[in-house]
């Protein structure tokens, strides 16, 4: 029995043949309760993904990742380079959440929420089924000579794939440069922006390559998340798993025969129909245990449940379960590792929320001009400064005045009052003059207020230098 299992056990990647060449996967079209749930989730996530860059919250794009200009909008909150610490904490929260989620539920994110899987299985694969048919018809078409039927179906599929890839590229571009820019380019016409059109076609080519040819190899070879499974999963993690205790029995799996008593023969409930293998989008046999290629898409669960139902066996031969649940019937419990991850995640979320509430809409930086020393008169000391104002709001800030709060003195703004455009940055130069009698040391901390139309909108501080005090 052990030798037979070893012979059947697959210890190589399912998309590579014995000679090392790429073996294309033709998965059977999935159906079932979980697939219907996945479809609903995918529709929602697709709608969100396509709409997010075009949704505005208080004038801010809902999601924007403009790396070139270092502008980021997350859920309508604008993040500037000065808010980099918030971005880092947000990324840490995401990483810890994914780690916690993976430890508990395995790679369920890949099968249910990953954009690669959603586009591949719920968009491109559905188009392929519509044009070329299900698994057997696709295999037949692949082996078929390049006659009129094959050319017609393949060209139609390629055109559809290119069109969808072009739409995805436009949306992807909207996340990077902003939806307003993309809409402006579209309205002005492609010939007015040849350079941008070439970049857009390059993005389109990348997406077309991924979804038309590279496909599941992204999950198997490129994506680092799959590699994390090896260090994050343990016997208590819940995965899409084959119940080998029930499925193999004492004498292994066996094809179903009429009027036989499988219990007396010592065979398990698995009838070796291979439906779980045929429906798998990454070409694995789930009966070989947890594998890095498995994206927890649940297609094998639906396929197996259908066969079990028709064969008169109980459903759930393949199900969400941990190895301990299958072998020892141990239910899931929070252990020390999960508690530690949960505490860390809670702390990070608390810190992020606190910092978001403390974050100011206007940020002011006032620094002494490098290389300049103070100017001294009989009664006062004067220093020259550069001022930088950042407006993170979607409204203009007009008639900006800068006043001393902590000391008596005067501030002279070169050029008069400042106006800062919405989501803009304004720089200028100013002089601060303070009477000598009001200074207690050669270097003092000044508290400065930023006012707009007489209303205090921000406070900041800077250093003021003067001559050494000799008692």
Nearest Cα neighbor of 162 from 211, 233, 113, 220 is 211
**In the prediction, which pLDDT does 1 show?**
38
**In the prediction, which pLDDT does 10 show?**
54
**In the prediction, which pLDDT does 230 show?**
67
- pLDDT averaged per 10 residues in sequence order, the chain, 471 residues: 46 74 91 96 96 89 87 82 81 86 84 94 96 96 95 97 96 94 91 90 95 92 79 85 92 86 88 94 90 90 96 94 89 79 89 83 87 87 92 83 90 85 86 90 91 88 83 48
**In the prediction, which pLDDT does 32 show?**
95
Dihedral angle over CA of 208, 211, 215, 221, nearest 10: 50
């Amino acid at each position: 029995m052990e030798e037979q299992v070893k012979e059947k056990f697959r210890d190589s990647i399912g998309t590579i043949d014995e000679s090392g060449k790429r073996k294309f996967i033709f998965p059977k079209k999935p159906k079932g309760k979980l697939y219907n749930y996945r479809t609903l989730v995918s529709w929602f996530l697709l709608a969100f993904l396509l709409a997010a860059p075009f949704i505005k919250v208080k004038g801010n794009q809902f999601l924007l990742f403009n790396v070139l200009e270092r502008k980021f909008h997350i859920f309508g909150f604008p993040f500037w380079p000065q808010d980099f610490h918030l971005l880092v904490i947000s990324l840490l929260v995401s990483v810890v959440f994914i780690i916690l989620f993976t430890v508990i539920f395995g790679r369920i994110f890949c099968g249910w929420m990953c954009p690669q899987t959603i586009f591949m299985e719920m968009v491109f694969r559905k188009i392929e089924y519509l044009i070329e048919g299900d698994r057997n018809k696709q295999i037949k078409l692949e082996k078929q000579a390049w006659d009129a039927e094959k050319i017609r179906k393949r060209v139609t599929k390629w055109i559809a794939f290119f069109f969808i890839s072009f739409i995805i590229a436009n949306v992807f571009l909207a996340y990077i440069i902003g939806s307003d820019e993309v809409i402006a380019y579209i309205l002005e016409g492609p010939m007015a922006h040849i350079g941008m059109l070439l970049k857009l076609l390059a993005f389109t080519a990348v997406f077309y390559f991924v979804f038309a040819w590279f496909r599941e190899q992204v999950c198997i070879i490129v994506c680092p998340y799959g590699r994390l499974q090896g260090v994050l999963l343990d016997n208590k993690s819940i995965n899409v798993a084959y119940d080998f205790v029930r499925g193999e029995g004492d004498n292994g799996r066996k094809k179903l025969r009429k009027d036989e008593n499988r219990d007396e023969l010592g065979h398990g409930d698995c009838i070796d129909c291979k439906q779980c293998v045929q429906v798998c989008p990454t070409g694995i046999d789930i009966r070989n245990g947890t594998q890095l290629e498995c994206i927890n898409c649940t297609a094998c669960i639906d396929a197996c449940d259908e066969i079990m139902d028709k064969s008169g066996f109980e459903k759930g031969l393949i199900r969400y379960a941990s190895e301990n649940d299958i072998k020892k019937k141990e239910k899931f419990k929070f252990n020390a590792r999960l508690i530690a991850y949960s505490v860390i995640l809670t702390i990070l979320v608390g810190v992020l929320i606190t910092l978001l509430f403390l974050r100011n809409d206007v940020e002011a930086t006032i620094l002494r001009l490098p290389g300049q020393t103070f100017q001294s008169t009989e009664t006062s000391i004067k220093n020259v400064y550069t001022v930088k104002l950042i407006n993170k709001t979607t409204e203009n800030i007009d008639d900006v005045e800068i006043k001393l709060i902590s000391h008596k003195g005067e501030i002279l703004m070169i050029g008069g009052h400042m106006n800062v455009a919405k989501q803009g940055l304004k720089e200028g130069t100013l002089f601060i003059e303070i009477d000598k009698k009001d200074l207690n040391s050669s270097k003092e901390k000044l508290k400065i207020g930023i006012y707009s139309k007489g209303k205090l909108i921000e406070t900041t501080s800077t250093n003021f230098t003067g001559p050494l005090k000799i008692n």
